[in-house]
Structure formats: structure tokens, C-alpha cells
Structure 1
Amino acid sequence: MEYVLGIDIGTGSVKAVAVNLQFQSFADHQVYYPFSSPKPGYHEQDPEQIRAAFANVIKSIILKIGSAPLAVSLSSAMHSLIPVDELCRPLAPMITWADNRSAEIAKRLRGTNNGMAIYKATGTPLHAMSPLCKIIWIKENDPQLFSKTYKFISIKEYIWHHLFNVFEVDQSIASCTGLFDIEQLTWHTDALKLAGITIKSLSRVVATDYCRLYVAAEKNKYLLSPDTPFIIGASDGCLANLGSMADKPGIAAITIGTSGAVRVASSIPLPNEQSMTFNYILNKETFICGGPVNNGGIALQWWLKNINPEADERSYEQLFQQIATVPAGCNGLLFLPYLTGERAPIWDSESCGTFFGVKLPHTQAHFSRAVLEGICYALKDVLDAVQQTSAPITQINVSGGIVRADLWVQTLADITGKKMVVVQSEDASAIGAAFMALKSIGTIKDYPTSDFLGLKTFNPNLTNVAAYANGFVIFKQVYEDLKATMHKVYQYNG
């Protein structure tokens, strides 16, 4: 059977998805790995564990199918940072996007003209997730590590180097570092100066359809055919738009996994200084613009584990059955889902989760629904910011864990007032990588499109839309009213 392999190197797992020449996914394999948090705000991983998982998923797919793929293409989580030596050996654990140690540096940069100019040029929000802020933190807090580092690279670059023994990075991953000029397609001089590095500290930048051929060693640990094309690919967010066929104006994509994001395709960057929406590169024709939220599925998981410490997969079904018993708007109960601070559009690492409007009639079911609605309100907040500069959005294609629960998708439709279409399953990023592989090796001329007929669609319930419009106004006001107090709580608790 002829197929290509899309591999998504995520924060919690590596997942490989086999896609045939008719664009259908038919096999997958996923390997999970942990993270560590040695200090408050730290979020680290072992790059070698991730590389081992990467090798595992390739071998497992090939053994499952019985033949090797025509090509392999890579998707990767954004904003990771690994300091390495000349041989690409890690000098410290990998810092993930969720790491918050450089929050004060990001806050400091947001208050300067130079910082905002770098945001507009690089398309990357000034936030602790940004490799720019991470490198500055290392320079200021661990000068010995900073001076020993040969290159600052991402997890995809780490795996790519171990495949081909070269330091190369695709334009998509480069465009979310805060160090890359997204219009000139070069490393940004002022950002490098701010970080205290030169281009020698970074990888060579290549296009997202850039290809290298796999050279099978005597012990072919990947089980791949000699000269298998490897497409370097793009970031997970950009490829999720491609995989969910939301790479045209007017159609947005929302992905909810542990975190979440709202993204639209555009032929030009769409900066928004107030909301600091991102502008990342998918390919030479397309930017993916939008905003990420910290608290997607992780907020729902937190709530379920607290009300049911023995929760399993069946517990999620029971949770949604419970939520369905409560009317839209939770009888005035609101939840601000900022359990891990928040990114777009408030960019407030010192914010916190809050239940508001609690009354005697409220039950556990009300609190459960409020958590779900709070996640959706946060995504609407980002969507509104994106729509300030984008073409009108008429449809949202959804992917990620959200698609397993119809009630969740319907709630998002009601809160945003937009039609939701479930185009792909949870594998949108890996499938997007596979689409890129098919085009890069010449199997297809253009990416697949759809009229979306026959796909599961959720239209807004107009009665609920009206109720949620009032709730959203209060949701935003509660944050503004509590912002200063949240910051005091954060500073008091260190």
C-alpha cells in the first residue's frame, strides 16, 4: 500500500498517522512521555525521551502496515528551546512552551517600543513561551550555560540533526521564536542583539517543503527504505489549519487539546498590537494568524480529577451527561479558566482561575458546565481579537480533543455564534504534515479542498447565543475587575 507518514512531535506525545494517496488516514501510533517541573513555573522535558518516541512511532507504523512510507513529514510543537553543544548534545533539559520562568522578561519587553517593534517584525507575541525570552532568561540567570551553548534549537531541530547531522530549521518553527523576520525571511538583527546572540547560535533556515533523503545505516533502526524523502514540515498550529482544510480566508480553525488556539489563514501578516495575535508561516503563500490559550482540555481535566480522583475515559462521558442537565449560562455562574495564567488576548501570566457568581442553587453540575463554558469564552475572546484584522469568518473547523464531545462543540458554536464543522479528528497536525509530504514529493499539485458536505456540522442555537452574549460581557468585566487582585495573589504566593 502506498502512503505517506505525518508525524506530530507534541508536548505530551509523538503521534504518527499514515495517509494514503486519497488523503485518507488509516493507521496511527502514539507514544507518550512525561514532563518535569523542578521549580514553580518550570516546564521541562528530556529531548532523548522524545527522540526515542519518534523512532518508536515510525517503526510501529511500518510493522503495523507491513511496508515503508513513500515519504515522512514533520509537525512539531512550537516554542521549545534546547541549549546544545557542537555535537547536538543537550546541555540542559528542554524548556517547553508552557515554561513560565521568563514571564518578567516578557512583561518588561511589552513595555518598550523596541519590544513591540520586534513583535511586529517577528510575528511572535512577547510572552514567556517565546524562545527569545527564554534565551534572555538564560543569559541573565545562567551565564555559564549561556556561554557554553553552541546552538539554541527546538525539539524538531534536535531530531532533524540526529537524522541528518545538520542544524536546520523550517521557516514555520523559526517564525515562532521571536527571532525571525517573517517578511524578510532572515534572522532579525534587533532580536538577536536583544538576546545577546548571533546567527551562529541558530540553525540555517529552510522552506517548510524542504526535503532531505534518509540514508539507512547498517542497522536501520527506523525500518525505512533507503532514500526515503523527509520533509522538514512546519509547526503543529500551522499544519492543523492545513490538516483541517482551514487554509483559505473566511474559514478559521480552532484546536483544543491540553491548550487551545484560534487560527486563520492570510496572504499577509495580521498584527494586532493590543491583543498581540501571532503571525506564523505555513508556506511561502500563507501566514497562519491567531492566538493561543493556555487552558483548554487541561482545565476540564483539572476539574474532573478534583471531583473524581479515580476518573477514567468513561468519567468524561458521565461529566458531559451531567453538564447537559444545566441550561446555557449556568444560571449566572461563571468560570475564568486561567489556571496556568493566560496567553491571548490578555497575555497575563499572573492571572488565575476564578469561579464567580456562586449562589445556593448552584450544584456540582453547574460548576462543571461553568468550566466548559469558561474555556469557550476564552476562545471567543481570541476569536474577536483575530476578527479585528482578518477577513470575515463564516465557519470554524474544529479539531483536537473537543471533537469527542458534541456538547462541547455545540457550546463553542453557541458562544461564538459561528458554524462549527468537524473536519478532522484529533490528528489534524499530523494529517497536515502528511498533506505537505504528498505535495512536496509531487504526488499532488494542490492541497486537498472540501465542500464540507456530509461532515458533522453544529449551527449556533440562537436562544443560547443571546444568553451567552450577556455572559461574555460579564466574563471580560470580571477579569478586568479582578486583574490587580490576581497579581497580588500571584506575587504573595511566589
Structure 2
Amino acid sequence: MQAYILGIDIGTGSTKAVAITLTGSALGVVQNHYPINSPEPGYSEQDPLLIWDAFVKCLQQITEKIGYPPEAVSLSSAMHSIILVDEAGMPLSPMITWADARSENIAQGLRDSAQGEDIYRVTGTPIHAMSPLCKLIWLRTNKSELFARTHKFISVKEFIWFKLFNSFQIDYSIASATGLFDILKLEWSAEACSLAGITGDKLSRPENTTYYRHDLNEVTATLLSIPQKTNFVIGASDGCCANLGSHTTGPGIAALTIGTSGAVRITSPKPVYNFEGMTFNYLLNQNTFVCGGAVNNGGIAINWLLQNFLQKEKLTAADYDELFSTIETTPAGSNGLLFLPYLYGERAPLWDTKSSGAFLNIKPAHTRAHFLRAALEGVCFALYDVLKTVEDASTSITQVNISGGFVSSGTWTQILADITGKKLVVLQPEDASALGAIYLAMQALHPESYTELTHVTGEKVIEPNGENHERYSKLFLMFKKLYRDLKDSMHILNEHDI
């Protein structure tokens, strides 16, 4: 029997467990899903007990599948969630996810205030409705009785950890995404907590991302089908784990992911601040920052186009294959057709929830293929905008390590390479966050295995086409100008039912 480490990624829509041996062999993957609820416009909530059930099932199923339990379990999770719990760790209300927008006006007011930039520089977290800081201010104002009854304000990973060990602990990485944590002093910020209307004792105790325990109680160990002495590593956020899992930790290298949304991240020994573009600065460990920006409109914008323009109700792999084959011979630049992909508002670098999507420069010669290609190009332009913002505030980027479902399309990856003008490298097509969690466990428990497994060979490389990049560079300037020109109109149309 080969010893293995289990990386568990607690995502917004599902929890996934990935088993890897100390020599890098994959033993199995299991995944369990749960719903997202939207009881009112702008709300995004989940039942944390369903997420715990999915976590338990992942451990039970992987142990049954492999035939014996893991040596260690390491955790990755989505950022910015918040759960109000009592002293027994039981939820007092549904969990609020990162996508919840009810504190949008609070975020805008704080961002426009004199205090906004100070809070951003201390905490490294963009001032946005996704931030637990803004969520707490909303809860204090609108749910004062519930707010007052709360023993602790915690994230979904802290909830899982409490169920395991009956202890309120949080890793530096998740803490650094709350808007409440001093990322340089590695402690809760008194100024940010005061703004939220709490003190640090209402939050969990911060730990480094390689912190681990092996003292499960007998009941929990039996439930999970593992020994009591199994090591549990607290791990990091999904974004930081993805950088580690995709080997994006060196200078001049960025990680770019396109899933439902999208993100660009670099690692840095110090924060990369840009208040206007609101680059984030999250901790991978006490000495390493993961800096970058996330966009709202990745694959979700393409799905919208396929579902609403091509009547593809339930999207299949064949629908995407048809999309890529349709646009394969369409020239770069889609004959001047431009798509602003801000269907769901936008985060970095615009931070504009009132922005909207638009096709510009439509001419009689434009066909369905032009519209489809322009949509992919628009998503890539938006991510290039983030990449440029990060690059301008830090250092030159020469290589982009890519991950997410889009890497299976040679057409889409080539468009991205041509737009950015960067060499793209596919190192870990899937499960980069779970793999990053595994690497954190190896750093703590088996450093020799970590060193060996992170020596990468045989990567797939996509080189940019210079002629296409030159054409795209001109269109990118227009892409950025169009948002600025249309911003006021977008906001007026957003405010009024015209």
C-alpha cells in the first residue's frame, strides 16, 4: 500500500477530493455537489451543513475507493464566505458566499472614503461586496439582533475545521481574504474590525498554512472512516493553492485560470498594491503573497451566448466542440467586432457592478462565427486587462501557466496567447487547488517529496503568433476605451427601466 495525501477543495458548487501518493501517482478523485440559493436579488447563500455532508462523503468515498485511509488530509477552500455561529459552532443563518452582492453600496461608500485606501493597504483585500468586511457592516446594520447573538464570524473552512476539532482556527490565506486581517503583522486589524463593529475575539485564531493537527475525536474519526491520528493540514485558499499546484511560484510567471469566472495571479515576497485596479494580496504562507485580480465573466459569459443565441439549453462537450470548430478559421480580431463581456458586472480591474455586456462595431459582413470568436476574444481581453494591471504594478511577466476547463481547447488557448503575447504553459490542467493543498501538506510532513514532485518536466507550451498579437494590441486599446466611453450609459441604463 502506497501512502497518500488527500487534497480536499471546498468550492462554491462542490467539494472535490484528490488522492496523490508521495511519489506523485494519482489514486482517485471524488466530487460531491450542493446548491446555491438566491432568496432575494443579489443574495447568494448556502447551507453549511450540506457542505459538511459533502466533505464527509468525499472522505468516505475516497477511502472506500482506494481501500485504505490517507496519511494526511489537506484543505483548500473558496474565499470570502461568512457564517454566523453560536458557541457550539452551529450556524445561526445560511452561509453568505463570495458572490453575494447585498453590501454593494457599503463597499462603494467605503471605497470612496478617506479610510478606504488605508484599509485596502493594511488588509490587501479589494473593497468589494465579496469582502467579509463589507458583509459584516451590512449584517450589523440590517440584522442587528442576529449580529449581536453571534459568537464567531467564520468561513466555510473554519466551519469544517471546527466540526473536526471543536476549535476556531483560520489559516493566514483565508484570513488575508477577509478584509479584516493585517497581512504584514499577521494579526487581526483593529482598525478593520472596529469598522465592522467587532473585536478580534469574534474571529478565529490565525495559523500558518502548513499548520496541522492529528487529534480527531473517536466519533468524528469513525464517521470519516479514518484513524484518529490522521494528520489534517489547515491549508490555504483555492486561489493560493492553485498557484502552488500549477507551479506558479517563481519570478516573471503568472497563473491564469478560466472557469465560470477567471483570475490572474502571481507570487511575490511583498504585496502588489494598486488601489484603482484593486489588485488582491492574499497569503500563501507567512512569507509569500499571491497577488492579482479576478473577473466575473469567464466561461459563464460564453455559456450565456451559447444558451441564448444558439438555443443550447443543457450544454454538452459537443456544443463547445462545435463552437471551436465554427470559429477556427475566422481571422483574429473578428473583422473588427468587439465584445465587452461584463454581463455580470465586473471585478478587477474595473470594480463596477453596474457595467454590462456589449457588442460594438456590428457590420452586415459579420456572421455567427464572428460573434462567437469575438466573445472568446472579449473574455481574453478582460483577463489581459488584469494581467497588464498586475504587471504594471510589479514586474515583467514572461510566462503564463494556465488552468481550468478552457485548456482543452487549442483554439481558445491560442487566442489567449495571441492577445497577451505571452508564452502559455499547461502544467496542471485540472484540480490545481486540490494539488496545491497536497503540496502544503508535503511541505509540512514530507519536504523531500515536495521537492521532487515540483521539479517539472514535459510541459505543454503554446507560443503567441506575432502578427496576431500586433493586431490584438490595437484592438485592446479600443476595448479599454469603449468601456470608459460607455460607462455612464451603462450606469444610466442600469438605474432606470427604460
Could you state the TM-score of these two structures normalised by the residue count of structure 1? 0.97
Amino acid at match of 1:139: R
1:23-34 paired onto structure 2 within 5 Å: 23-34=24-35
* CA offsets 1:412-435 (integer angstroms, 9 cap, x no match): 111111000000022000000001
Contact 1:55–1:221 (Cα < 8 Å) also in 2: yes
Contact 2:240–2:284 (Cα < 8 Å) also in 1: yes
| 1:64 paired residue number | 65
Contact 1:124–1:176 (Cα < 8 Å) also in 2: yes
CA distance in 2, matches of 1:96, 1:252: 26
CA distance in 1, matches of 2:373, 2:248: 29
Distance 1:477 1:449, change over 3 A: farther
Unaligned runs of 5+ in 2: none
CA distance in 1, matches of 2:159, 2:423: 40
Contact 1:152–1:201 (Cα < 8 Å) also in 2: yes
Tell me which of 367, 385, 397 is aligned to 1:393: 397
CA distance in 2, matches of 1:220, 1:34: 27
Amino acid at match of 2:237: S
SS in 2 for 1:350: coil
CA distance in 1, matches of 2:365, 2:179: 48
| 2:51 paired residue number | 50
Contact 2:27–2:66 (Cα < 8 Å) also in 1: no
| 1:234 paired residue number | 236
1:22 Cα deviation from its structure 2 partner: 1.9
CA distance in 1, matches of 2:228, 2:454: 35
1:75-86 paired onto structure 2 within 5 Å: 75-86=76-87
Residue 360 (str. 1) matches residue 364 (str. 2) = yes
Residue 334 (str. 1) matches residue 338 (str. 2) = yes
Q: Percent identity?
A: 54
Contact 1:81–1:152 (Cα < 8 Å) also in 2: yes
Contact 1:25–1:431 (Cα < 8 Å) also in 2: no
| 1:224 paired residue number | 226
| 1:157 paired residue number | 158
RMSD: 1.5
Amino acid at match of 1:158: F
Distance 1:72 1:89, change over 3 A: same
* CA offsets 1:445-492 (integer angstroms, 9 cap, x no match): 755576754211100011110111111111111100111111112222
Distance 1:285 1:310, change over 3 A: closer
CA distance in 2, matches of 1:167, 1:205: 9
Contact 2:165–2:217 (Cα < 8 Å) also in 1: no
1:409 Cα deviation from its structure 2 partner: 1.3
SS in 1 for 2:496: helix
1:271-282 paired onto structure 2 within 5 Å: 271-282=273-284
1:41 Cα deviation from its structure 2 partner: 1.3
SS in 2 for 1:113: coil
Distance 1:426 1:169, change over 3 A: same
| 2:259 paired residue number | 257
* CA offsets 1:59-115 (integer angstroms, 9 cap, x no match): 111111111111000000000111111111111211111111111111111111211
Contact 1:216–1:224 (Cα < 8 Å) also in 2: no
SS in 2 for 1:124: coil
Distance 1:239 1:448, change over 3 A: farther
Tell me which of 303, 306, 312 is aligned to 1:304: 306
* CA offsets 1:342-370 (integer angstroms, 9 cap, x no match): 11111111111111111112122211111
1:67-466 paired onto structure 2 within 5 Å: 67-215=68-216, 217-218=218-219, 220-306=222-308, 307=310, 308-444=312-448, 447=451, 453-466=457-470
CA distance in 2, matches of 1:214, 1:427: 28
Tell me which of 474, 483, 486 is aligned to 1:479: 483
Amino acid at match of 1:5: L
Distance 1:377 1:448, change over 3 A: farther
CA distance in 2, matches of 1:178, 1:309: 38
Amino acid at match of 2:299: G
1:325 Cα deviation from its structure 2 partner: 3.1
CA distance in 1, matches of 2:458, 2:325: 26
CA distance in 1, matches of 2:318, 2:194: 52
Amino acid at match of 1:377: F
Unaligned runs of 5+ in 1: none
Pick which of 309-318 and 373-382 moved more: 309-318
SS in 2 for 1:346: coil
Contact 2:22–2:449 (Cα < 8 Å) also in 1: no
Contact 1:9–1:15 (Cα < 8 Å) also in 2: yes
Contact 1:403–1:426 (Cα < 8 Å) also in 2: no
CA distance in 1, matches of 2:423, 2:54: 37
Amino acid at match of 1:327: P
Contact 2:262–2:297 (Cα < 8 Å) also in 1: yes
Amino acid at match of 1:236: D
1:411 Cα deviation from its structure 2 partner: 1.1
CA distance in 1, matches of 2:338, 2:64: 49
CA distance in 1, matches of 2:236, 2:366: 45
Contact 1:216–1:225 (Cα < 8 Å) also in 2: no
* CA offsets 1:18-49 (integer angstroms, 9 cap, x no match): 11112343411111222111111111111111
CA distance in 2, matches of 1:449, 1:252: 20
CA distance in 2, matches of 1:38, 1:88: 24
CA distance in 1, matches of 2:63, 2:20: 13
The total of aligned residue pairs comes to 494
SS in 2 for 1:56: helix
CA distance in 2, matches of 1:357, 1:410: 24
SS in 2 for 1:221: helix
Distance 1:467 1:76, change over 3 A: same
CA distance in 1, matches of 2:321, 2:49: 35
Amino acid at match of 2:461: T
CA distance in 2, matches of 1:86, 1:4: 32
Distance 1:471 1:448, change over 3 A: farther
Could you state the TM-score of these two structures normalised by the residue count of structure 2? 0.96
1:310 Cα deviation from its structure 2 partner: 3.9
* CA offsets 1:224-262 (integer angstroms, 9 cap, x no match): 122000000000000100000001111110111111110
1:443 Cα deviation from its structure 2 partner: 4.7
Distance 1:416 1:67, change over 3 A: same
Amino acid at match of 2:42: G
SS in 2 for 1:276: coil
